[in-house]
Structure 1
Amino acid sequence: MTDHPTLSEFATNETTDSRPASQPSTDETVTMTADERVATYLIEDQMADLTDAIREAVQNGIDSPGSTRVLVSISPERSLILDDGAGVNLESTEGRRNLSVLGAGSKQRSDDETIGEWGIGKGAIIAKGAVRIWSHDTALCFDYRDRRDSDLWEDISGRDGQLVDAEHHLEGMLVEIDHYEDEVPDPDSYRWRRYVRNLRKRFAYVQSRTGVSVVINGESVDKGDPLEAVADSPHPSLTRETDDAILALEYTPHEGLDIYSNGLYVTTKREYGLGGVVVSKGNLTLNFARNDIQSGCDCWQRIDDALEQARDDLYAEVSDDRLTAESREVMVEAMASDSSDASDEQWAERKLFQLATESRISLEEIQATRKIGWVDGAQKGADKLVERGYVVLDTSDAATQRLRDLANDEDTSIAVPETFDVGEQAESEGVWTGYHRVEDESQLNADQQRYLRFARVLASELGIDRDVYYGEASADAWTDGRTYIVITDSAVTSRQRAVWMHDLYLVVLHEAAHETSSRDRPSHGHHFESAFRSLVEAPGNRSSFAKLVQQVVDEGFESVFEEYEVDLQRSEGVSSGQFR
């Protein structure tokens, strides 16, 4: 781990070491009341790690009158936070109280000129190490856990801050945290990189709002004008400025929307189905830990309204086939809300809902049909009904499940047609949905036996570690995704040898590409299609298949089957309960 600057290297035009020898200026201590001590305990519970303490110190530096820059050095041994503001007169009663008594300070929650709140940050700071807060000619020192006993810390312990004379004058204010070992990761831990990354994100837009630059371990964290945040995005995007906030949005729902209060990162929200940043122009009302927005924040309510309108405008630029599951679910929620009549009309034609065939359908198309069916996953029989013109909706898709939930809610504004039983309808249409494995393979006819034995040899040559059986179903084959594959009569399309051998090559690889059961929830999405195509086009598989076909041509089926010792199973001793 690289060492970071001591105070002499850290503060321009200063020659002192990072911990000057000092002596107590008086016997005066600043003692917290019992209520304040209880509050300190609560703050320790809320402030999860060292970055929370550093965050509080940096925010105080940003708020310092006249401050233009805050320098931060974070390392396993200690953290230093130095600002160039007016500092604090620690020799005055008010100055000492503001930096030692929990909850004291000049900041108000309604004050948009400062970004900190309540004066509670000092509780998080003193919980993480022995702390020196130095401004002008005096320092206020804490050793909350009484872990230090040399020089400066010899007579300091507990929550009581003690004043000491500084070796020389310091403009601005320095906060030094000499870390307690159990409050920081091991020096070689990857978490240090994460700490620095999180702090950079925390203050990414503070300079755009306050004019104060923040430098962490020698590098500025400023990301510039938030309106430029999505300027180079390859995704659909838009920017918008209101009286309350700057919105820079892009269509990356999986990344979420980063929320900044007056330039300071607060949280990432995913319920909007968008990516990008929102930077409020004033302080949002935050919770105690400052990692979320309190309900009842009037400013956020106005921003929320603007976000919903911007979201609608951005969604209009995204084609239906690019809409993610997160976005479609957001759109369904908006369509069902009383305040989104316009969205209901706008999005009724958009294909937001998934059919049993994994294709999509719009609310307008759903409402135009007489009856609909629901299934949990693209089940056999259900997809056949869709192919025959029925609307069978797949509730394994989040947006489609949300539609079903809303359809059952008496207060919803979304109406859907009556439902039919998918199983009964499939039976009445003659779409058989049963699966049966043939236990006594000696009962198979000559063609079926040849297909089965060839498929077993083929699976072996292709390196597919699954048993191969014969069965009856409407599907060409099925698998449990792990141990077996069952082929059926429909797996082959011709009795011509060259055709049916290639049919079985494709069918066996198709089932091998399934990592889960293809009987209950056959997924044929992008992941499956990619896996299947890779297996079919793999040079090794194609070569193995070609060699096997040539061997059959040269030697005949029976010779090949004997070489591979492929036998048929009879019903005795065969357990088939898992296939029924």
Structure 2
Amino acid sequence: MTEHLPLSEFASDDADDSRTTETRTEETVTMTADERVATYLIEDQMADLTDAIREAVQNGIDSPGSSRVLVSISPERSIILDDGAGVDLESTEGRRNLSVLGAGSKQRSDDETIGEWGIGKGAIIAKGAVRIWSHDTALHFDYRDQRHAGPWADVSGRDGQLVDTDHSLEGVLVEIDHYEAEVPDPDSYRWRRYVRDLRKRFAYVQSRTGVSVVINGESVDEGDPLEAVTNSPHPSLTRDTEEAILALEYAPHDGLDIYSNGLYVTTKREYGLGGVVVSKGNLTLNFARNDIQSGCDRWQRIEDTLEQARDELYESVSDDRLTAESREVMLEAIASESARGEQWADRQLFQLATESHISLEEIQAAPKIGWAEGAEKGADKLVERGYVVLDTSDSATQRLREIAADEETSIELPPTFDVGEQAKSEGVWTGYRRIDDESQLNADQRRYLSFARVLAEELGIDRDVYYGEASADAWTDGRTYIVITDSAVTSRQRAVWMHDLYLVLLHEAAHDTSSTERPSHGHHFESTFRSLVEDPENRDAFATVVEQILDRGFEPVFGEYGFQ
């Protein structure tokens, strides 16, 4: 009587538990295909090991009668086992389905299976020496001919070999003895990411197919997709339609995870949403199965519902909470002359030079408008006097400018004025103004100033440091002082602005004459500035100040230097 090994025999991470004694036959099985096509299908179609494992798991999910797929993944070896009906490797059809690239019964229009095309086996054999075992027969491949002992001793390239096994196995077992070059350092973040990403790929498969997937002893099932945003801290909504399940939340930075029949495909950010979309049936995917093909009818129908749901969700988000990504999405809708675009014309989507926001209706009502990038001199003063000066450092506002410049656009804007000239005529051209009353500075400006003063002392720059207003990053009289401005800082991220101020101070220290009136940046200046930047003592001084702040915080360090 033939012995049937239990499923639990292969749930362990110890791959040696899965091996049996095998008696070799003489039969060689060739993975037929045009040489160039075969090389592409095997070596180039998939990005990494998780793609190969995904293919094996998909085959297990699609196996007739399968209810569970067990996966054991380690840096040395991966084992994938399903409890389905298995494959008759003694039959011509069974051998062909598992050995010939492109062969198989799966069709792209088949919603009963989640795999496609029968090309996944190419990705599998590219990642290691492979054994595919079902019933009393095993099929071996060693594509790169890197195994010279054990079950793969006599196989290489695209030719596989069938062997008889001493035991019979229900279902199909796929063992991938990883090639070293296909596996990242086991202690690296990349390996941890491999396992995490693999779990994500099958998060909603059970909800769609009823087949559970267990990876390294833990189920990957995330449950009902409709509950994906139940505990979201953001505005959210759900939809259950004939085509898909949508669980949406207002988290544009996270992006929208797309699942084809429960299988993760990609994350899309162009919709300005977070959450998940799980299609009820297969989406038409690209060859690598990491994106949706254009012209996918099912996705087009889902997309219509998705956009309607997004519009409804946006209505529950106040203007001051809208991100730049969302505002760009809304602008594109306005430009497309859609019905939803019309209802957004009064939303405050665009940024003024004062960093406040304004609607398209208000912009179009102005007699003239100006464009400024960031902290341009006088722009904020003009806004305070009632002018519309739009800040193109904001991506949505810049996109408005681009759309309005298109001759075929549906958006018409008022004529423009020169911001600099208008500021001069209004008497708000600030020029170079040092702020003597430092109580006028906001918290960020005071922190920048204190840091610059501490750093100047450590760098041995014998000049007083002040804060001021100008379009320039800073200026100096070349002898006694340096004045920094808001534009010296390009980011609010601590690591960035500290380095910004380091370079600005060295730049001004390289000037030995006033930098307010057409400062010289000739050979002498460039040589001096470069030597200051490349001086190891200056780099060490900067690193010392930064390390002190990281270890102890801003206020204790500033206090020690006498700058509060």
TM over 0.5: yes
Distance 1:126 1:98 in 2: 14
Match of residue 331 from structure 1: 330
Distance 1:313-1:164 versus aligned 2 partners, 3 A rule: same
Q: Which residue of 1 aligns with 2:402?
A: 405
Q: Aligned runs of 1:249-264 on 2, under 5 Å?
A: 249-264=248-263
2:497 is the alignment partner of 1:518: no
Matches within 5 A, 1:20-39: 20-25=20-25, 27-35=26-34, 38-39=37-38
Question: 1:489: which partner in 2?
Answer: none
Q: Distance in 2 between matches of 1:461 and 1:412?
A: 47
Residue correspondence of structure 1 range 32-111 to structure 2 within 5 A: 32-35=31-34, 38-111=37-110
Q: Determine the structure 2 residue equivalent to 1:10.
A: 10
Displacement, 1:459? Answer: 6.3
- Find the residue that maps to 1:463 and give its secondary structure: helix
- Residue 319 (structure 1) aligns with: 318
Amino acid at match of 2:203: A
Aligned position for 1:577: 515
Kindly indicate whether the alpha-carbon contact (under 8 Å) linking 2:430 and 2:469 is maintained by their aligned counterparts in 1.
Answer: no
Structure 1 partner of 2:386: 389
The match for 2:526 is none
Contact preservation (8 Å) 1:72, 1:216: yes
**Residue identity opposite 2:270 in structure 1:** E
Render the CA deviation track for 1:85-121: whole Å, top value 9, x for unaligned.
Answer: 0000000000000000000000000000000000011
2:371 to 374, 394, 398: 374
Could you say what secondary structure the match of 2:454 adopts?
coil
Given that residues 22 and 151 in structure 1 are in contact (C-alpha distance below 8 angstroms), is that contact kept between their aligned partners in structure 2? no
SS of 2:181's equivalent?
helix
Structure number with larger C-alpha Rg: 1
Contact kept, 8 Å, 1:36 with 1:101, in 2: the verdict is: no
User: Hey, what's the Cα distance between the residues in 1 that align with 2:490 and 2:294?
Assistant: 43
| 1:235 equivalenced with 2:234 (yes/no) | yes
Partner of residue 415, structure 2: 418
190 and 347 in structure 1: CA distance in 2 versus 1, 3 angstrom threshold: same
Aligned with 1:102: secondary structure? Answer: coil
Give 1:223 shift: 0.2
Q: Over residues 374-398 of structure 1, what are the superposed CA-to-partner deviations in whole Å (9 max), with x where a residue is unaligned?
A: 1111312111111110000001100
In structure 1, the residue matched to 2:548 is none
1:485 CA drift (Å): 11
- Give unmatched runs, 5+ long, in structure 1: 1-5, 438-446, 449-454, 487-507, 533-572
Contact 2:60 2:66 survives alignment (8 Å): yes
CA distance in 2, matches of 1:116, 1:149: 32
Q: Given residue 150 of structure 2, which amino acid in structure 1 is its aligned partner?
A: D
Deviation track 1:422-472 (CA, whole Å, cap 9, x = no partner) reads 1111121122243389xxxxxxxxx99xxxxxx9xx96997353765699x
| Percentage of pairs with the same residue | 77
SS of 2:20's partner is: coil
SS at match of 1:402: helix
> What's the secondary structure of 2:60's corresponding residue?
helix
Residue of structure 2 equivalent to 1:282: 281
Distance change (3 Å), C-alpha of 1:111 and 1:470: closer
Q: In the aligned structure 1, how far is the partner of 2:471 from the partner of 2:425?
A: 26
- 1:520 and 1:360, CA in 2 relative to 1: closer, same or farther beyond 3 A? farther
- CA drift at 1:48: 1.2
Q: 1:8 to 1:303 in 2, by over 3 A?
A: closer
Aligned 8 A contact 2:130 2:174 in 1: yes
C-alpha distance after superposition, 1:517-574 (max 9, x if no partner): 5258898x8x79xx99xxxxxxxxxxxxxxxxxxxxxxxxxxxxxxxxxxxxxxxx93
Q: Quote the residue 2:341 is aligned against.
A: 344
Q: Using the alignment, how far apart are the partners of 1:461 and 1:360 within structure 2? A: 32
Following the alignment from structure 1 to structure 2, what is the Cα–Cα distance between the partners of residues 461 and 164?
74
Classify 1:578/1:35 alpha carbon distance in 2 versus 1 (closer, same or farther; 3 Å). farther
C-alpha distance in 1, partners of 2:253/2:76? 37
Q: What do the CA deviations read for 1:42-88 (whole angstroms, capped 9, x no partner)?
A: 44212111101000000000000000000000001110000000000
Aligned to 2:454: 463
* The one of 352, 355, 364 aligned to 1:358: 355
SS at match of 1:95: helix
**Inter-partner Cα distance in structure 1 for 2:471 and 2:335:** 40
Counterpart in 2 of 1:129?
128
Verify the 8 A CA contact 1:358 1:378 in the aligned structure 2. no
Three-state SS of the structure 2 residue aligned to 1:419 is coil
Q: What is the count of residue pairs matched by the alignment?
A: 479
Say if 1:389 and 1:128 are closer, same or farther in 2 by CA, change over 3 A: same
Question: Are the aligned partners of 2:22 and 2:165 in contact in 1 as well (CA < 8 Å)?
Answer: yes
Per-residue deviation, 1:227: 0.3
Q: 1:170 to 1:461 in 2, by over 3 A?
A: closer
Q: Measured at CA, do residues 43 and 346 of structure 1 come closer, stay the same or move farther in structure 2, by a change above 3 Å? A: farther
Tell me, in whole angstroms, the C-alpha distance in 2 between the residues paired with 1:460 and 1:273.
Answer: 37
